[in-house]
Structure 1
Amino acid sequence: MKVVIFGSTGTVGKHLIEQSLEKGHEVLAFCRQAEKLEMFKNSNLKIQEGDVFNPEDVSAAVQDQDVVIVALGSGKSRKSVVRSQGTKNIITAMKNNGVNRLICQSTLGTYESNENLNFFWKYIMFGWYLKQIFLDHELQERYVQNSGLDWTIVRPGAFTDGEKTELYRHGFGANAKSLKLKISRADVADFVLKQVTDTNYLHKTPGLSY
């Protein structure tokens, strides 16, 4: 498969690159600074520098791809709109280039999955401290769900630096109990990449947690 990864220099993005290459995919990593990916040496990896806010850059990256993976982060800003506006540009580019498969990493807590959160995440983190980032996630999801593309939105819990275990819960309902609300970045990448060839979660929003 030919896969383009947006957010490739992020903490999840690097796992996506590594695991995509292990699976034999042809990977195009879209990023602002190519030197951040200099640790990867693989003939199946291409790196394209660009700005997700620039429609021409995004279109060039999407062209001729089989699958688009969005793992955009907000950087150090709690007022960033890169997820929503970047994803909006990606969706437009996909439509213009005839690319249909979109896998978007969001967060557990958006919309109906808000019921999965505990008091700390629901009211302190997403309700106050990270409120603008949370709202940008929800806007991003709205763009994806209204895109008309073959989309899957993955909603992971809080990231950890653990190993890839593949021993996680996914696709649970809003009333699911005993969730740890945590998931390693490596396991997030594992689940996202399973969606490249699996359509069980097509047009669905699976949660992800231990």
Structure 2
Amino acid sequence: MNALIFGATGGTGRQLVEQALAQGHIVTAFARNPRNLDLQHPNLHVGQGDVLDFASVERVMQGQEVVLSALGAPASQKDAVRSEGTRHIIRAMEQTGVRRFICLTTLGIGDSQQALPFAYKYLLVPLFLRQAFADSERQEEYIRQSALEWTIARPGTLTNGQRTGQYRHGFPASEKGLKMKISRADVADFMLRQVQDHAYLRKAASLSY
């Protein structure tokens, strides 16, 4: 399948690229600086551009069958990369007829807020992550308002651990015993499973160990 991956040079995005290639997909990795993606594979193509530039997003969308986004930005960054980048992705998908969209946000957005531990909910998010969470809220709203076949992945704290394939997904906010963390490799595993599995079609799934 022709898969377009945004945020391809980030930790989760790189896992998406590597795992998608291993599964036999034809991958286009969208990157502002392709040199940051030091991978070579006969099925890998790199599309250079800025997700905040609609023309470059529309150009790379041609011929794609599924879009996966792992857009992210430092908490201190002022640009609304998640929401505005996602708005451009959605618009380009709608204009080119690409339907399937699998997008990474974060645990704590929307109805998953109650899953956050006390320190996150009342200290870390209000004091340090408020802007990033607000941007992710807007991002999810754009997705929900679209007519796309979307799935949102909301992981807990991301780690650089191995892909295990053993993680919880789609749990209610009241579920107990969560570790509130998950490896980027396992997040990519979940997102790529959604390419064929529509169990979370037009739904958001929380992810954690």
TM-score class normalised by the smaller sequence: over 0.9
CA distance in 1, matches of 2:152, 2:80: 18
Counterpart in 1 of 2:91? 92
Aligned length: 209
Give distance in 2, aligned partners of 1:27 and 1:86: 19
One-letter identity of the residue aligned with 1:204: K
> How far apart, CA to CA, are the structure 1 residues paired with 2:77 and 2:53?
21
Q: 2:7 corresponds to which residue?
A: 7
What is the alpha-carbon distance in structure 1 between the residues aligned to residue 178 and residue 79 of structure 2?
A: 28
Three-state SS of the structure 2 residue aligned to 1:103 is strand
Aligned to 1:20: 20
Query: Where do 1:45-194 residues align within 5 Å?
Result: 45-75=44-74, 77-194=76-193
The offset of 1:82, in angstroms, is 0.1
> In structure 1, what is the Cα distance between the partners aligned to 2:120 and 2:27?
34
Q: Secondary structure at the residue paired with 2:190?
A: helix
RMSD of Structure 2 on Structure 1 (CA): 0.9
Structure 2 CA distance for aligned equivalents of residues 64 and 178 of structure 1: 43
Q: Deviations over 1:172-209 (max 9, x none)?
A: 01211111110001001000100011101001100000
In structure 2, stretches of 5+ residues that fail to align are none
- Partner in structure 1 of residue 196 of structure 2: 197
Give, in whole Å, the separation in 2 of the partners of 1:190 and 1:121: 25
Spell out, residue by residue over 1:22-71, the C-alpha distance to the aligned partner (whole angstroms, 9 max, x if none): 00000000000111112x11010000110111111000111111101111
Q: Per-residue displacement from partner, 1:119-152 (whole Å, max 9, x unpaired)? A: 1111122122110001101100000011111000
How far apart are 1:75 and its partner, in Å? 3.8
User: TM-score, structure 1 length as denominator?
Assistant: 0.97
Q: CA shift at 1:80, angstroms?
A: 3.2
Please tell me whether the aligned partners of residues 80 and 133 of structure 1 are also in contact (alpha carbons under 8 angstroms).
Answer: no
| Preserved contact between residue 154 and residue 208 of structure 1 (Cα < 8 Å) | yes
Residue 5 of structure 1: how far off its partner (Å): 0.4
Structure 1: gaps (5+ residues):
none
CA drift at 1:76: 6.2
Other-structure match for 2:40 = 41
The answer on whether the counterparts of 2:171 and 2:206 sit within 8 Å (CA) in structure 1 is yes
Please give the alpha-carbon distance, in whole angstroms, between the structure 2 residues aligned to 1:56 and 1:77: 27
Instruction: State the AA in 2 paired with 1:29.
Output: A
Structure-2 separation of matches of 1:99 and 1:206: 22
Name the SS for the 1:205 alignment partner.
strand
